[in-house]
Amino acid sequence: MLTLLRPLWLPVAYYLSWIWFGLGGLALNIACMPLLLLPRSERRGRRVRAVTRSMFNFWKQWLHFSNVIRITWNGFDRPLPSGVIYAANHPGIMDAPLLLSGLPDTVCIMKPALLRNPFIAPTALACGYVSAGDNGVELLRNAVDRINAGQSLLIFPEGTRTATGSRLNPLKPGFAVIARRSGRPVQLIYVRASPHLGSKSLPWWHLPVLPGHVEFTLGELIPPEEIDSPLAFTERIAERFRATLAPVSSLA
C-alpha cells in the first residue's frame, strides 16, 4: 500500500517542505526585525544563528523523514573545526541551509538581492551574514573580522550554483584572499546532488525527480601555511574539486 501511495506522497511532501521553510523563515524574520533597531551585539547574533541553525536542522530532518531528499553525511561524525573557512561547491539551492544546519556557529556570504528581500534580510542581518554587495575591501574586512571573532565562514567559491551539466564552475579567488588575511585554515566540503535538484536551470517550484539525493563529504583541512598566492591556491583547489567530484549524473 505504501509503495502505491509513494508517487502521490512525494510531490506533496516536497511542496510541504518549502511551505515549512517559508513559514519558519517568515516567523523568524518577524522576530528579528525589532532586533535590527537595537545596538549591535555579538552575543545576540550568536543566539540568532543558533536559532536559525535549529530551524534549518528541523527542515533537514523533515526532508529526510519524509523521504523527499536522502541526505548523506560523510566524515561529519568527527568534531568540526570552528574559526575556519568552509569552502564547498554549489550544485543546488539547498546546499547552504543544509550545511548551515550542522556547521558550528557559521556565517555565510549573501548576494545583495537576498539582503534586500524582506522575507530573508532581517534574519540574515541579525545573524551577521556578510554581504557580497559590499565593495571588495569591505567584504574582505567583514569576512576576516567574523573569522577572527571565532565564527566560521561558509563560502561557495563558484559564486553561484554550478551550471547544469558541469561538474564545477570556475572558482573565484576571494576565499583564498580571506584565508590568507585571516591566517585561518580552509576546510573543503564536496557536495554531490541528484540532477536538477535545486539546480540553476530548474526553479525550486518545478518538481524534480523524487526522491532526490544530496551527499556532503568533509574533505581536507588545509592549514594556513599551505595557502600560497590566491590565484595559485584557487587553481589548486579547483583541481581537487574536479578530481574528487563524481559526474553530476552519478546520483539518482
**How are strands ordered across the β-sheet holding 106-110?**
69-74, 212-222, 186-193, 85-88, 152-155, 106-110, 130-131
Helix (H, G, I), strand (E, B) or coil at 85: strand
Tens digit of pLDDT for each residue in 188-218?
999 999 988 888 888 888 899 899 999 999 9
3-class DSSP assignment, residue 17? helix
pLDDT tens digits, one per residue of 122-150: 999 899 898 876 667 788 888 999 999 88
pLDDT, one tens digit per residue, over 58-117 is 999 999 899 999 999 999 988 888 899 999 999 999 999 999 999 999 999 887 777 777
Could you give the CA distance from residue 147 to residue 52 in angstroms, rounded to a whole number? 19
For the chain, the structural domain boundaries read: 2-244
Fold of 2-244: Glycerol-3-phosphate (1)-acyltransferase (3.40.1130)
pLDDT of residue 43: 74
Q: Cell 517550484, residue?
A: 205
Answer yes or no: are the C-beta atoms of 177 and 233 closer than 8 Å. no
Tell me which DSSP letter residue 120 carries.
Answer: T
Q: What pTM value is reported for the model?
A: 0.91
**Residue appearing with cell numbers 548576494:** 111
**Where does 66-197 have alpha helices with state H?**
95-100, 112-115, 121-127, 136-148, 174-182
The Cα 219–Cα 244 span in angstroms is: 9
Residue 191 phi/psi, 5° resolution? Answer: -120, 125
